Amino acid sequence: MTKSYDLIVIGSGTAAMVAANRMAAAGKKVAVADYRPFGGTCALRGCDPKKMLITGAQVMDDIRRMRGHGVAADGAHIEWRDLMEFKRTFTGPVPGKQLKNYAAKGVDTYHEHARFAGPNSLELERSGIIEATNVLIAAGARPVPLGFPGEEHLMDNEGFLELDELPARIVMVGGGYIASEFSHIAARAGAKVTVLQRGKRILPQFDGDLVGWLMEAFDAAGIEVRTGHSVEAVEKTDEGYIIRVRSADGGTAAVHADLVVHAAGRIPDLDSLGLEAAGVERDQCGRLKLNEHLQSVSNPAVYAAGDAAAQGPPLTPVSSHDAKVVVANLLEGNTYCPDYRAIPSVAFTIPPIASVGLSEEEARSKGFKFSLKSEQASTWYTARRVAESVYGFKVMVEEGSKLILGAHLVGPHVDEVINVFGLAMRHGLTADDIKSTMFAYPTGASDIGYMV
């Protein structure tokens, strides 16, 4: 007999976990299917493992900056294998813990590929057909196909975060989050890293002036950044790889490497879901056609969340937020819509760069009247006490309302401090509210009053 559920979730990442747990807590019969180890991108192949490797890289950078200031650690280096083992102390137990957690909550788990067989039924690779009142597509994202010869030679984020040996010469194809973060890790671990970015600058999601200041940290780490360079082909040779590049002025070049990493963007992972069988439509860009409640416009039984839904930026807190919205809609009827205002985002370079709210260009093009405070603040105590020269900010405060429109930070501790701006923006606190708040001193947050 076909097994029947209130909700089947495709995927076992952040969106899936939040949705499945909440539905189970509401007494609903839930199933979760994933063909990969349970845990999803953030816990197994993204945010969390990456941040553990960053911890090692950060120590190396601390030593570099403190050399001659009382720290002598000559010969200190990263033992890549051991750092990977450190990472695995976190990632290793994740799938088992998840399965145990689901079992305890009465959620059925299927470690297999799922595809739609009908409007509200799924075909599982081994277990056959299961059906549900509702299906949540939480299938995440995958590296975008690049369409150039030799793209099969590129290693994705999953491969990089599992490397047992770190190759000597690494090329990052692309210059966004993944290229920036992975290059800071690999360079501190001794690799020669080249970032090949098609765009005019790297990290286009962040403020251009602050990214400019951050380039000093790329230089200090020995990371070569080539902007306006589009990768057009990758060839495998006996010695490694040749990466064929075209520059913005039409010139061509060849870069040699032992490893080529895909850091050129990700797209919703929808192609293998058999959406046609369920009548779930996609738009011209291939994204799911969803209404404001994250429900398929063509099949009301189906909802989507997180990277697969691609309604907000592809970030973990967005996946979690989407899942909460979907569950509220399932339990209470379609009454909730996602709220994507003031989502803080951080690229974990060393030091990090962070952003929340509008960019300066967006604020101007939307016609806001605002005061802008921006400063390269390397002489401030927050930077000096850690011997870091990269520190700066750009904050926009609306005239009249004194609400913060956008905050952009680079330097020590900004990965934490940005959350204070996010809190203020999401809850309508003004620049005056922030100025009248007491922040513990000396902390990164104690600078906020001088930034607004």
Ligand X SMILES: NC(=O)c1ccc[n+]([C@@H]2O[C@H](COP(=O)([O-])OP(=O)(O)OC[C@H]3O[C@@H](n4cnc5c(N)ncnc54)[C@H](O)[C@@H]3O)[C@@H](O)[C@H]2O)c1
Residues that bind ligand X (CB under 6 A): 146, 173-179, 181, 196-199, 204, 230-231, 263-266, 313-315, 345-348
Instruction: For residue 207, say whether it is annotated as part of any ligand binding site.
Output: no
- Could you say whether residue 185 binds ligand FAD (CB under 6 A)? no
Q: What is the rounded CA–CA span in Å between residue 296 and residue 261?
A: 34
Task: Compare residues 132 and 231 and give the one whose CB is closer to ligand X.
Answer: 231
How many residues bind ligand FAD (CB under 6 A)? The answer is 36
Interface segment toward ligand FAD; rule CB under 6 A; list 240-248, 312-320, 350-358, 422-430: 312-320
- Applying CB under 6 A, which of residues 42, 132, 363, 395 lies at the interface with ligand FAD? 42
- Is 177 labelled as part of a ligand binding site? yes
Please report how close the Cβ of residue 207 comes to ligand X at its closest, in angstroms: 15
The answer to whether 235 and 256 have CB atoms below 8 angstroms apart is: no
Peptide bond into 204 cis (omega under 30): no
Query: What is the DSSP pairing of strand 240-247 with strand 229-237?
Result: antiparallel
Identify which of residues 80 and 160 has a Cβ nearer to ligand X in the complex: 160
- According to the annotation, is 106 in a ligand binding site? no
Q: Which of ligand FAD, ligand X, none binds 35 (CB below 5-8 Å, type-dependent)?
A: ligand FAD
Report if residue 34 touches ligand FAD, rule: CB under 6 A. yes
Decide if residue 319 touches ligand FAD (CB under 6 A).
Answer: yes
Q: Which does 272 bind (CB under 5 to 8 A by kind): ligand X, ligand FAD, none?
A: ligand FAD
> Could you say which of ligand FAD, ligand X, none residue 138 binds, taking C-beta under 5 to 8 angstroms by partner kind?
ligand FAD
Comparing CB distances to ligand FAD, the nearer of 94 and 242 is 94
Whether 174 has a binding-site annotation, put simply, is: yes
Neighbours of 167 (CB within 10 A): 16
Residue with smaller CB distance to ligand FAD, 115 or 226: 115
Minimum Å gap between C-beta 62 and ligand FAD is 20
CB of 288 to ligand X, least distance (A): 17
What is the Cα–Cα distance from 388 to 156, expressed in whole angstroms?
A: 31
Kindly report each contact of residues 372-375 with a partner whose C-beta sits within 8 Å and lies 24 or more positions away, as own/partner.
372/396, 373/397, 373/451, 373/452, 374/209
Cα 187 versus chain centre, distance? 20
Q: Is residue 35 at the binding interface for ligand FAD, with CB under 6 A as the rule?
A: yes
Look at residue 33 and give the partner it binds from ligand X, ligand FAD, none, a contact being a CB closer than 5 to 8 Å depending on partner kind: ligand FAD
| Closest of 176, 172, 178, 210 to residue 193, by C-alpha | 172
Give the nearer residue to ligand FAD in terms of CB position, either 286 or 428.
286
Please report whether residue 15 would count as binding ligand FAD according to CB under 6 A.
Answer: yes
Tell whether residue 8 is among the known ligand binding residues.
no
Question: Taking Cα atoms as reference points, which of 411, 393, 81, 58 lies closest to residue 207?
Answer: 393
Looking at beta carbons only, is 138 or 302 nearer to ligand X?
138
The site partner of 174 among ligand X, ligand FAD, none (C-beta below 5 to 8 Å per kind) is ligand X
Subset of 72-131 contacting ligand FAD (CB under 6 A): 113-115
Binding residues, by number, are: 51, 174-181, 265, 307
Binding site for ligand FAD (CB under 6 A): 10-16, 33-36, 40-42, 46-47, 50, 113-115, 138-140, 157, 178, 269, 272-273, 306-308, 314-317, 319
